[in-house]
Amino acid sequence: MGIYWSTFLSSVRPPPPPPPPPPPPAPPQNQFLELVEAGVQICIVAVIAIGIFRAASGAPVIVYARRRSDIWDRGFY
């Protein structure tokens, strides 16, 4: 009888739970956006380096300020 009951119980047992769903896929890496960000960082570093170099050489760091103030003073803005 032991074999009969074990066979019967194994056929009545509920199926095992389904495996957990796979994790959601990672968002695709936007390579263009990464290139733009890298380019912006390079430009920022270049502008800072040029400003430091111009300040060290004695040249005015901001060139257009004099001309803009002249335009504002004349009322052409």
Residue pLDDT, tens place only, 18-56 = 888 888 887 777 788 888 999 999 999 999 998 888 888
| Beta carbons of 54 and 61 less than 8 angstroms apart | yes
Higher per-residue pLDDT: 44 or 77: 44
12 found inside a domain: no
69 found inside a domain: yes
| DSSP output for 22-61 | PPPPPPPP-HHHHHHHHHHHHHHHHHHHHHHHHHHHT--S
Q: What is the pLDDT of residue 72?
A: 58
55 found inside a domain: yes
68 found inside a domain: yes
Its domain, for residue 69, covers 29-77
The answer to whether the predicted template modeling score (pTM) of the entire model surpasses 0.85 is no
6 found inside a domain: no
Total domains in the fold of the chain: 1
8 found inside a domain: no
* Cβ within 8 Å of residue 61, ≥6 positions away: 51, 54, 55
56 found inside a domain: yes
| Beta carbons of 40 and 50 less than 8 angstroms apart | no
17 found inside a domain: no
C-alpha to C-alpha distance for 72 and 14, rounded to whole angstroms: 84
